[in-house]
Structure 1
Amino acid sequence: MALPDIQTKTRFTVEFPINASPKILFPYLATASGLTQWFCDDVRYVEGQRLNFIWDQENHYAEISGQRLNRAVRFVFLDEHRQPVSDANFLEFFLDSSQVTDEVYLRITDYSAGHESGEQQEMWDGLVAKLKEQVGG
């Protein structure tokens, strides 16, 4: 009897300063059209609060589990039947701004399995560089 392949999930958090206001940035983090411009090959609304993230012609379904306008959004990934799972992978974008310096920071929390932190840092560095090109920041 084979044991199921269980990968350890890790919470990877990284923060980037971005030269753009939360009002400009937020649509790039929380809408299908905005995410398609920098995050993955395509994003489509499926139903209600559900989206289909497409990478390398593979579908990855997620549900928006929490959102605060111009502040934060969390996507919780679903199984291949588009159903919620326990201990699901999630991705959270959180915008924070300093009242003192007027700087805006994008904090990304990526909870998933199978990545080394060095690889994840490199991946997010590249993705956020694309985002900064889009917003001019």
Structure 2
Amino acid sequence: MPLSATRSKHRFTVEYPINASPKILYPYLATASGLSHWFCQQVRTDPQHHFIFTWDGQDHHAELTSQRTNRSARFVFLDKNHRHAPDANYLDFTIESSELTQEVFLRVIDYSEETDDIELQEMWDNLVQNLREQVGG
């Protein structure tokens, strides 16, 4: 049995207030150019419209499988052959706004093999701080 088939997955969810409108925030979550400003070393797209995320010099291919303009984007990571895999890792970004308070929140769902919630919290805290610096919020 391949090693990857024996690993269990973990769903980590975190929410952050963001002082920016959904219209300003959304391109930073759903476009290669926006993501490359805060999320990883580089993000680009290939001819099949897959996103290629580069961390520590390694490429990770993903597909934007669902999106709602100014609301949400989900990236499902592909296997080493750039195909969909069962129980694939994914990232889900959702922008929520309160009509009452006008506050905007970013909810992140990180579904992967990483199970250390403290490490994930620190990583996302740092990433979202980078994002806030980009959007001015």
- The interval holding the TM-score normalised by the smaller chain is over 0.9
Q: Does 1:102 align with 2:102?
A: yes
Q: Does structure 1 retain, via aligned residues, the 8 Å contact 2:114–2:120? A: no
Partner of 2:46: 46
The alignment covers a number of residue pairs equal to 135
CA separation in 2, counterparts of 1:115 and 1:38? Answer: 23
Q: TM-score, normalised on structure 1?
A: 0.95
Q: Secondary structure at the match of 1:122?
A: helix
Read off the aligned partner of 2:36 and give its amino acid letter. Answer: T
CA contact (8 A) 1:8 1:114 kept: no
Deviations 1:91-136 (A, max 9, x none): 0000000000000000000000033000000000000000000001
Aligned to 1:111: 111
After TM superposition, where is structure 1 displaced by more than 6 Å over at least 4 residues in a row?
none
- What does residue range 1-137 of structure 1 map to in structure 2 within 5 Å? 3-5=1-3, 6-137=6-137
Please, which runs of 5 or more residues in structure 1 have no aligned partner? Answer: none
Equivalent-residue separation in structure 2 for 1:45 and 1:58 (angstroms): 15
Q: Which amino acid aligns with 1:4?
A: P
**Structure 2 segments unaligned to the other structure (5+ residues):** none
Cα shift at 1:57: 0.8
Give CA deviations for 1:50-107 in whole Å, capped at 9, x if unaligned.
1100011101000010000000000000011101100000000000000000000000
Give the 3-state SS of the residue equivalent to 2:13 in structure 1. strand
Percent identity of paired positions between Structure 1 and Structure 2: 56
